[in-house]
Structure 1
């Protein structure tokens, strides 16, 4: 009787071991069963930052549709799915896990910096390739599996100070920034350091936080009292619109300069566009550019989504074409494991150089950072124009 029980136990143990081995192989088997590339996207399509997430979602969709119509990547079509994270780190991680369950092989996202910094921990652990169109915090791509299309916060701060100094726009500058936001504070820190080397005088540096971003009277008065000729605003357009309106009421009319978070201010419901006249900001894209590539994109975007694209849509569109170029360089196939895809893309991303919507020439280093020339736009007559 004991021998029979012992034999039965051995059979059960063997069966369990076989079952565990089979389950352990599901990750690679899932890739082998698909004949399409599965690309996921994450960003806010609801909440305060929804204008960015919707633009990214649409920009990806337009590129995917074009590429699929032209035969796909290496002859294989793309499947695409986008998840809303409401600009929230926990929701972004949940969105990532949901997309993993769907079978995602590559991620475009996330859109904003804090969620991206949280999600990159997950993609790094899974060794999944990640390309963010617009997360600018340095930490957002801190691992070798992650790259970005946009400038990082430090690069935006440096480029802004250089442009202001080189074009002699002002010498006495005030800064109003969000000290609770890595995007804003990161740009400010590098802007302040570069300003010293460029001979710019920061006469006031006034912070606000996420809990105090509606009344800017104190910051405006300090900038005015300091004699600022220009106010640098490394913040998002929602807060910037309030500052412009409140500064006018305070009879303070300096020049204004911002970064890519300013994109979208002219589309803000109820905003008086005249308040933004002559506002300048860094952005790699404006829909009013006359080049054929931009106009073709704008026309297609308007037809598909009944809206005018902003920079975030263009960055996302370029992300998909970048993945296509890198995947074709690496000769990717959908049956490869997620990790093998990532390893191949890490290498090929450093070997390609593209001309796209957001850069005449762009290439990447192994740290995931892009190299490209900055572009500055200025608001004229309620529309964006490329600054000289």
Structure 2
């Protein structure tokens, strides 16, 4: 993706002059506003412009995820700022290269800028590092895509838009048990990555409890993610006809290519980290034919087309993945919580944090990545993933 990778700043100060109930409000300039504004904002209230930050890998191997998060958040900010909502945002994104230390530095830079709410970081490791700081400094954080339970554990002001690793592992095992009960399963996972390890653990536990046949488990690390011949040979020799891969799309692309080269053609099954493989530069989409995955978002279903068209138009024709959709939802979730809490832009980040914490377990939000999403006191979202299969370079629902 050849995009300018810089921190975005939205010029979001939009001022309205309103007359209602014998009062009016104005800042620099004025324009009239219809009396039917956003549901929770009363006619006559001042526009409130909050500083919203996001963090993700805008450069490096994981850039497709960070770019998607920042661009998805940017699209939501643009829409909100162009609407007649009394909540507006000034937005800034920072690069962390998927590194925890760099992500903390990015957070500090955003706080120096005046950030009041964080929609990020993007990756699990970076989010775990920043979540600790947010909790100690009382900055509200909602990560679009970091799915490990440890990101939110013990931190009442940290929330997730994506479903958790246990949810993905359990849901995957349940789906396979219901739809492919006789499958002989191999599991290929990265054991130095919290995301991959966490999904593996819950998947194997759930699969075992359901009496499923897990015939092989193969591991790799970040340093060995270029050759999967040993793992694929192990899966094949043990008779695995389904390979579960709770991994990201980059190593998965290598797995698929090497499996084809050796003539091994099981059903490959992934989770949300697999999303993005079809738009990976240099990847042959035919290698993903028949690949199954659980994800909360598809760019090919009618319900998401308005978002997809707006995103591709703003980003040189690039199709959004679920990371972009999660970030887009994340901004709207923040907006709704700010409205419900009655926050004003002159509040400190710490005061806004406490107000939003009180609201998050009370609100319900329906967006691109789930309907009637709710959050528990541990910051985990309740929503269900959907199973898709890749056919002809598109996600489609599996045949019944």
Q: TM-score, normalised by structure 2?
A: 0.86
CA contact (8 A) 2:148 2:194 kept: yes
Question: What's 1:233 paired with?
Answer: 245
Q: Call closer, same or farther: CA 1:321–1:35 in 2, change over 3 Å.
A: closer
For 1:259 and 1:227, locate their aligned partners in 2 and report how far apart those are by CA, in whole Å: 22
Q: Which has the larger radius of gyration?
A: 1
SS in 1 for 2:101: helix
CA contact (8 A) 2:87 2:335 kept: no
CA contact (8 A) 1:266 1:382 kept: yes
For 1:303 and 1:270, locate their aligned partners in 2 and report how far apart those are by CA, in whole Å: 22
Deviation at 1:96, TM superposition (A): 0.3
SS in 2 for 1:206: strand
> After the TM superposition, which residues 13-32 of structure 1 pair with which residues of structure 2 at under 5 Å, given as runs?
none
SS in 1 for 2:265: coil
For 1:344 and 1:290, locate their aligned partners in 2 and report how far apart those are by CA, in whole Å: 36
Tell whether 2:290 aligns with 1:285: no
Tell whether 2:52 aligns with 1:52: no
SS in 1 for 2:222: coil
- Which of 171, 179, 198 is 2:210 aligned to? 198
- Equivalent pairs counted in the alignment come to 351
Deviation string, structure 1 residues 276-299 (Cα, Å, up to 9, x no partner) = 1110111111110112xx111111
Question: What's 1:158 paired with?
Answer: 170
Tell whether 2:322 aligns with 1:311: yes
CA contact (8 A) 1:216 1:246 kept: yes
Deviation string, structure 1 residues 136-165 (Cα, Å, up to 9, x no partner) = 111112210000000111111111000111
CA contact (8 A) 1:289 1:386 kept: no
Question: What's 1:209 paired with?
Answer: 221
Q: Call closer, same or farther: CA 1:360–1:35 in 2, change over 3 Å.
A: closer
> After the TM superposition, which residues 134-145 of structure 1 pair with which residues of structure 2 at under 5 Å, given as runs?
134-142=145-153, 143-145=155-157
- Runs of 5+ unmatched residues, structure 2: 1-46
Tell whether 2:313 aligns with 1:323: no
- Which of 281, 287, 290 is 1:275 aligned to? 287
For 2:305 and 2:284, locate their aligned partners in 1 and report how far apart those are by CA, in whole Å: 26
CA contact (8 A) 2:68 2:321 kept: yes
For 1:198 and 1:207, locate their aligned partners in 2 and report how far apart those are by CA, in whole Å: 23
For 1:84 and 1:198, locate their aligned partners in 2 and report how far apart those are by CA, in whole Å: 42
CA contact (8 A) 1:263 1:311 kept: yes
For 1:152 and 1:122, locate their aligned partners in 2 and report how far apart those are by CA, in whole Å: 21
For 2:160 and 2:209, locate their aligned partners in 1 and report how far apart those are by CA, in whole Å: 27
Question: What's 1:184 paired with?
Answer: 196
Q: TM-score, normalised by structure 1?
A: 0.89
Tell whether 2:51 aligns with 1:38: yes
Deviation at 1:169, TM superposition (A): 5.8
Q: Call closer, same or farther: CA 1:269–1:353 in 2, change over 3 Å.
A: same
Structure 1 stretch displaced more, 63-72 or 181-190: 63-72
> After the TM superposition, which residues 90-129 of structure 1 pair with which residues of structure 2 at under 5 Å, given as runs?
90-129=101-140
> After the TM superposition, which residues 327-346 of structure 1 pair with which residues of structure 2 at under 5 Å, given as runs?
327-346=338-357
For 1:199 and 1:326, locate their aligned partners in 2 and report how far apart those are by CA, in whole Å: 43
CA contact (8 A) 1:286 1:386 kept: no
SS in 2 for 1:36: strand
CA contact (8 A) 1:235 1:259 kept: yes
CA contact (8 A) 1:164 1:170 kept: no
Question: What's 1:6 paired with?
Answer: none
CA contact (8 A) 2:87 2:339 kept: no
For 2:384 and 2:232, locate their aligned partners in 1 and report how far apart those are by CA, in whole Å: 32
Deviation at 1:224, TM superposition (A): 0.2
For 1:190 and 1:358, locate their aligned partners in 2 and report how far apart those are by CA, in whole Å: 22
Higher helix share: 1
Q: Call closer, same or farther: CA 1:96–1:163 in 2, change over 3 Å.
A: same
For 2:126 and 2:78, locate their aligned partners in 1 and report how far apart those are by CA, in whole Å: 27
SS in 1 for 2:224: coil
Q: Call closer, same or farther: CA 1:361–1:387 in 2, change over 3 Å.
A: farther
For 1:64 and 1:335, locate their aligned partners in 2 and report how far apart those are by CA, in whole Å: 19
- Which of 224, 229, 233 is 1:221 aligned to? 233
Q: Find runs of 4+ consecutive structure 1 residues off by over 3 angstroms.
A: none
